[in-house]
């Protein structure tokens, strides 16, 4: 499963799935997760890529702090707590 791989490799899981199963897996594996909502999921690929690249510094800052990243990716590259 993707959550287990992310945990083993110290990666951040980026998903558009907000179902009970994925949320339980994120919690169970204690993995960093960024959720992509409709505004970016339906956007052209270059807008999604730009948002990820713009949020990279904030992801690094949050990942090095205490706790896990459980945020929503905004179209301008911001990370809003879920």
pLDDT score recorded for residue 44? 93
How many domains does the structure of the chain reveal?
1
31-45 CB burial, b ≥16 within 10 A, e <16: bbbbbbeeebeeeee
Q: How far is CA 27 from CA 18, 23, 52, 54, 68, in A?
A: 12, 6, 22, 26, 10
- Half-sphere exposure (Cβ direction) of 21: Cα atoms closer than 13 Å: 4
pLDDT score recorded for residue 60? 87
Q: What is the mean pLDDT of residues 10-17?
A: 90
**pLDDT, tens digit, for every residue of 15-69?**
998 889 988 999 899 999 999 988 898 899 999 999 999 999 998 888 887 788 8
> Looking at the whole model, is its pTM more than 0.85?
no
- Decide if 69 contacts 35 (C-beta within 8 A): no
Range of the domain at 33: 2-81
Q: Is the pLDDT higher at 1 or at 17?
A: 17
- Decide if 15 contacts 37 (C-beta within 8 A): no
């Amino acid at each position: 499963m993707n959550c287990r791989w992310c945990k083993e490799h110290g990666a951040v899981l980026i998903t558009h799935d907000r179902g009970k199963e994925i949320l339980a897996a994120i919690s169970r594996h204690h993995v960093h997760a960024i959720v992509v909502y409709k505004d970016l999921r339906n956007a052209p690929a270059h807008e999604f890529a730009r948002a990820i690249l713009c949020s990279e510094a904030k992801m690094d800052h949050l990942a090095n702090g205490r706790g896990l990243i459980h945020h929503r990716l905004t179209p301008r590259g911001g990370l809003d707590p879920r």
